[in-house]
A and B are shown apart, each in its own frame.
Chain A
Amino acid sequence: QQQVKQSPQSLIVQKGGISIINCAYENTAFDYFPWYQQFPGKGPALLIAIRPDVSEKKEGRFTISFNKSAKQFSLHIMDSQPGDSATYFCAASGFSGSARQLTFGSGTQLTVLP
């Protein structure tokens, strides 16, 4: 049962272009939506996160857009650079019983061509 669906699986963008990765969730109890960035040979690292009380959060070239009614959120990378080439995971967090749990999407491998 995949609670967070992520697309596309892979994405190729030219330098300077906009990269867009989409995620959809099912559980309305989710209340925290982070994105993690993973470079080859490294563990994932938190990139940016949003809570559902806002529809957008921007940090530098990275923006999360959040649509609560559609249960969707997306990551936009403006002016994409070759150094942005990595795997990106969306995630959703909420309480399951007494414990807060984080569920990851399946990941998107982004390649930015020079």
Chain B
Amino acid sequence: EAQVTQNPRYLITVTGKKLTVTCSQNMNHEYMSWYRQDPGLGLRQIYYSMNVEVTDKGDVPEGYKVSRKEKRNFPLILESPSPNQTSLYFCASKSTNEKLFFGSGTQLSVL
């Protein structure tokens, strides 16, 4: 089954404790992206990657890092999380006909 898998689904952490949210896709898509979803603000892009070893900032990249060492994986790293990063995060990959496939989301709470 074609899918984007992200883990964990829920994460509660404390300010300053580094964390990684993993994302993997099995569709051989070159393009992958991370979004955060906040009430009233829709989906805002954090980072995207057009291919292996190619990453670029989206609209809200501050406080986040990503890496793309393999085509299928695109982890999101918060090196020093802060409460304003409490949000619902989605990883997505994009097909050549522009269709985005989203993971099921990671609800992050930073205390």
Chain A contact residues, CB within 8 Å of chain B? 6, 9, 32, 34, 36, 41-46, 49, 89, 93, 99-102, 104-107
CB-contact partner of A43 in B44, B48, B56, B92, under 8 A: B92
B32 at the interface (CB under 8 A from A): no
B105 at the interface (CB under 8 A from A): yes
20 more A-B residue pairs beyond the given contacts A41-B104, A44-B102, with a C-beta to C-beta distance below 8 A: A32-B98, A34-B100, A36-B100, A42-B104, A43-B105, A44-B100, A46-B100, A89-B42, A89-B43, A93-B98, A99-B48, A99-B56, A101-B48, A102-B45, A104-B35, A104-B42, A104-B44, A105-B42, A106-B42, A107-B43
What is the predominant secondary structure among interface residues of chain A facing chain B? strand
B41 at the interface (CB under 8 A from A): yes
B4 at the interface (CB under 8 A from A): yes
Residues of B within 8 A of A104 (CB): 35, 42-44
In B24-73, which residues have CB < 8 Å from any A CB?
35, 40-45, 48, 50, 56
Chain B contact residues, CB within 8 Å of chain A? 4, 35, 40-45, 48, 50, 56, 90, 92, 98-100, 102-105
Q: Closest chain A residue to B6 by CB distance?
A: A43
Tell me the complex Cα distance, A89–B45, Å: 14
Tell me the complex Cα distance, A36–B56, Å: 24
Residues of A within 8 A of B44 (CB): 104
